[in-house]
Chains A and B, each alone.
Chain A
Amino acid sequence: MSITLGIFVVILLITLGITYWAAKRTATTSDFYAADSQLTASQNGFALAGDWCSAAAFLGFTGLTALYGMDGAFYALGPLVAFCTVLFLIAEPMRNTGKYTLGDIIRSRMQTRTSLLAAIAGTVVVNFAYLMPQMAGAGVLVRLLTGISYDWAVIFVGVSMIVYVAFGGMLATTWVQIVKAVLMLSAGAIILVMILAQVHFNPLTLFADAEQKYTAKYLLPVNYLKNPFDQISLGLGYVLGLAGLPHVMTRFYTVPDARTARRSVVWVMFLAGAFFAGTTLFGLAAANLVGQDVIRAADRGGNLTLPLLAQYLGGGKGTFGGDLMLGFVAAVAVATILAVVSALTLSTSGAIAHDFYANWVKRGQVDGKREVWIARIAAVVIGLLAIALGILAQGVNVAVLVILAICVAASANFPVLILSLFWRRFNTGGVVGGMAVGLISSVVLAMIGPAMRGADALWPLVNPTVVSLPLGFLGAYLGTLLAGRDPENERRFDAFLLQVHTGVVPK
């Protein structure tokens, strides 16, 4: 405990130092939302890795693999493949078309107030659905790792993220993410080397030992996700949902041009991808070395697998090496949560201050200094709301919200985004139709599924993406047809295409 706290205090001091440094450099809207678009490809690549790997990735994938074998490896693969979609279709057009938010793209394509409201709704719903389980997870995790109470843990995480975002904006958020990514990758590399040393640098031994200990069934799919369609939903949710997550996509505004945006995706694919691949080996090693019984006894969901494995590799419980490794991994886990919740808070404050206040209420006629003020206040309010929701969520099953966030991102935000960029006839009716149908079908299907209602589920899938995603596209299509042709919007599409593909706005 004391080593964990010690390491964590050091990380906290570093992040506060970063925030102090960043606050002095954050004055304009461009500073606050986009770190003045001055990051390099490698910086943004590390920050993307810090942003995208939530605690669910850092702790969850290892735990799932340890307890359920191959299904854990599936969970880890999806978030890498997701970046193919982002790289090929989204990152560069996004950098070329928008300024600070997802709403910017919809607004510059449609130039209607209604479509902007729909984009704001998509951003706020996805961000809060993502933020709430992160806060609840932070409460549980920090309590388990440090011994402080759930409520205080949530308050501590919430206040930290408010400080980072309100004072340091995107610059502080970015560097908190970079620090976290470096720590996470270092922890992963150390653990990997220690595991490989145990099996004489032959990873095949990990599989053979696992098979011997838990039978061949352990290395097969469908141990965790029993319904085949849930497997497919998971896959679709990942590959198309990432592109609809505003808190990750706004990272592309922090680089100067499309080429840097592209190169930062390649960076994150190698950095995060290597870590994801590592979690599969960590999980197998944990099952072999620590044992599923011990893992389950510590946390039924397997979320403490990686800390336990680190402790074992360091020399075991009670040894200095064991405590040190446990403390390090535990501190990185907390840093992971801080990096993700900060990005969510920042992106939501952008939707409120930039999309809603500056562009919807004030129709773009607002002083930059004032907008930054509003964004800072919004960050504080969002943070306080997140703390309250996190405390209320104690003991409530918030797993459904994690699914919901990625499901809404894939089913509502993604269709609207991709059709805005690539379909000439797409119009405001389509934006509203896609957003509404994608959002409502995701929420309703998730609520009546087994994640919420257990055995009383009205339909079989935990993750409804396989149905709600086509429905979202259908909503967007029908909305477009129902709204009728909009010749002005279709004519403007040529000029929009110039901007999408070159980044230059034709006058």
Chain B
Amino acid sequence: MRNGTSLEAAHASVRQLIAEKLKFLVPMTIIFMVGYIGLTVLAGFAKDLMAVKVIGSVNLGFVLIALNYVLSWVLAIVYGRVAGNIFDPLAAKAAAEIKAGH
């Protein structure tokens, strides 16, 4: 009986983990997809906008490309932090519950 209860607890913990993951990963995925695919759409369809000079000869297109690099790196660090602080403890809890349920 006890074993079944522990496995049920594991399922509950994983559901909680998935809910936490969705809370962060859905907006983060939307941000980088919109940022990057949006840039390719602009490159294809809004050449004039991309040509606007921002600093010296550097146009908006190159600035947006540079921002995409920075965005990817920032998201990677943020994800690493969030996963370490929030996802890992929940995953460890669920893992312990699964093992107890064996």
Give the B-binding residues of A (Cβ under 8 A): 70-71, 73-74, 77-78, 80-81, 83-85, 87-89, 92, 204, 207-208, 210-211, 216, 219-222, 225, 227-232, 234-236, 239, 258-259, 262-263, 265-266, 269-270, 273, 277, 280, 494, 497-498, 501-504, 506-507
Q: Are B51 and A220 in contact, CB atoms less than 8 angstroms apart?
A: yes
Interfacial chain A residues near B73, Cβ < 8 Å? 269-270, 273
Q: Are B51 and A502 in contact, CB atoms less than 8 angstroms apart?
A: no
Interfacial chain A residues near B33, Cβ < 8 Å? 239
Contact of A73 among B62, B79, B98 (CB under 8 A): B62
Chain A CB within 8 A of B59 CB = yes
22 CB < 8 A contacts A-B? A70-B65, A74-B39, A74-B43, A77-B68, A78-B36, A83-B76, A89-B25, A207-B58, A208-B56, A228-B43, A231-B41, A259-B83, A259-B88, A265-B76, A269-B76, A270-B73, A273-B69, A497-B18, A498-B10, A498-B11, A501-B91, A502-B14
Interfacial chain A residues near B57, Cβ < 8 Å? 204, 207-208, 210-211, 216, 219
Interface residue count on the B side (C-beta < 8 Å): 51
Q: Are A88 and B68 in contact, CB atoms less than 8 angstroms apart?
A: no
Cα of A405 to Cα of B61 in the assembled complex, Å? 28
Q: Are B65 and A77 in contact, CB atoms less than 8 angstroms apart?
A: yes
Chain A CB within 8 A of B5 CB = no
Cα of A258 to Cα of B102 in the assembled complex, Å? 22
Contact of A80 among B45, B69, B88 (CB under 8 A): B69
Q: Are B94 and A501 in contact, CB atoms less than 8 angstroms apart?
A: yes
CB contact under 8 A between A231 and B40, given known A81-B68, A208-B56, A269-B72: yes
Interfacial chain A residues near B14, Cβ < 8 Å? 497-498, 501-502
Interfacial chain A residues near B55, Cβ < 8 Å? 204
The majority secondary structure among interface residues of chain A is: helix
Cα of A227 to Cα of B94 in the assembled complex, Å? 49
A80 to chain B, nearest CB (A): 5
Q: Are A221 and B47 in contact, CB atoms less than 8 angstroms apart?
A: yes
Chain A CB within 8 A of B86 CB = no
Q: Are B94 and A266 in contact, CB atoms less than 8 angstroms apart?
A: no
B20 to chain A, nearest CB (A): 10
Contact of B61 among A220, A277, A494, A503 (CB under 8 A): A220
Cα of A507 to Cα of B102 in the assembled complex, Å? 6
Instruction: Give chain B interface residues in 1-52, CB to chain A under 8 Å.
Output: 7, 10-11, 14, 17-18, 21, 25, 28-29, 32-33, 36-37, 39-41, 43-45, 47, 50-51
Interfacial chain A residues near B36, Cβ < 8 Å? 77-78, 81, 235, 239
Q: Are B80 and A70 in contact, CB atoms less than 8 angstroms apart?
A: no
Contact of B69 among A234, A277, A497 (CB under 8 A): A277
Q: Are A219 and B72 in contact, CB atoms less than 8 angstroms apart?
A: no
Q: Are B44 and A232 in contact, CB atoms less than 8 angstroms apart?
A: yes
A108 to chain B, nearest CB (A): 15
Contact of B62 among A219, A222, A232, A265 (CB under 8 A): A219
Contact of A84 among B44, B51, B75 (CB under 8 A): B75
Nearest chain A residue, comparing its CB with the CB of B66: A277
Q: Are B79 and A259 in contact, CB atoms less than 8 angstroms apart?
A: no
Cα of A36 to Cα of B92 in the assembled complex, Å? 23
B46 to chain A, nearest CB (A): 9
Q: Are A70 and B61 in contact, CB atoms less than 8 angstroms apart?
A: yes
B21 to chain A, nearest CB (A): 8
Q: Are B94 and A84 in contact, CB atoms less than 8 angstroms apart?
A: no
Cα of A159 to Cα of B7 in the assembled complex, Å? 51
Nearest chain B residue, comparing its CB with the CB of A209: B57
Interfacial chain A residues near B59, Cβ < 8 Å? 216, 219-220
* The 10 A-B residue pairs with the shortest CB-CB distance in the complex, in nearest-first order: A228-B44, A221-B43, A235-B40, A207-B57, A211-B57, A231-B44, A502-B95, A208-B57, A84-B32, A504-B95
Interfacial chain A residues near B75, Cβ < 8 Å? 84
Interfacial chain B residues near A77, Cβ < 8 Å? 36, 39, 65, 68-69
